[in-house]
Chain A
Amino acid sequence: NAGVMQNPRHLVRRRGQEARLRCSPMKGHSHVYWYRQLPEEGLKFMVYLQKENIIDESGMPKERFSAEFPKEGPSILRIQQVVRGDSAAYFCASSRQASNYGYTFGSGTRLTVV
């Protein structure tokens, strides 16, 4: 089991471009969670998805950010018209079912907006 896979590991975007972050959950897992970590801060919850459904997006900024988890393929976190403040590490985690256990994070995508 390869664990939670995220790509790319590093992503550089100019202001105004779009960023697409991918997360492939562990095999057999249908629940995905996205967190954002700003420099020298803790992780902040963004969104929780099941296959084809957004369950909880209470942590997502209202504009420019969206997430999906299609029936086939990885979960995608999409950031449109990126700004410097979007620079952060974005981590995803997965679970087989809605989990109350400490889940395993992927290696993260470090987004730098220049």
Chain B
Amino acid sequence: GENVEQHPSTLSVQEGDSAVIKCTYSDSASNYFPWYKQELGKRPQLIIDIRSNVGEKKDQRIAVTLNKTAKHFSLHITETQPEDSAVYFCAASSFGGNQFYFGTGTSLTVIP
């Protein structure tokens, strides 16, 4: 099955700086990669996603890049704000698959 690894497990940045979270996957059949943000005690919320036919996708301060050859994808948050503090999870799935494989999460702290 698929194996998704995520780094770093914790990340602290100053407000206004950028944050980068990286994930690797093992199954070349995976072709869909969502990112979720989870605040303490709350549900994971989809913040951005990317398909394997695209190398990069951007939504305001958030961007995701995908390198299919190397089997890794990254989340980039620019101009970080305190409300960006949360745990971020990457995930991978294959078309027609029934499940998502999640990384172990990155706890991001934005220091005011």
Name A residues whose Cβ lies closer than 8 Å to a Cβ of B.
33, 40-45, 48, 55-56, 58-59, 91, 98, 100-108, 110
B73 to A: closest C-beta gap in Å: 14
- Smallest Cβ-Cβ distance to A41: which chain B residue: B104
The verdict on A104 contacting B104 (CB below 8 Å), with A42-B89, A98-B98 known, is no
For the complex, give the distance between the alpha carbons of A103 and B43 in Å. Answer: 12
Judging by beta carbons under 8 Å apart, are B43 and A107 in contact?
A: yes
Q: Give complex CA distance A35, B100 in Å.
A: 10
Q: How far is B98's CA from A43's CA once the two chains are assembled, in angstroms?
A: 14
Chain A nearest CB: distance from B91 CB in Å?
8
- Distance in angstroms from B100 CB to nearest chain A CB is 7
Q: Closest 10 A-B residue pairs measured CB to CB?
A: A102-B34, A42-B102, A45-B99, A102-B46, A56-B98, A48-B98, A105-B43, A43-B102, A42-B104, A107-B43
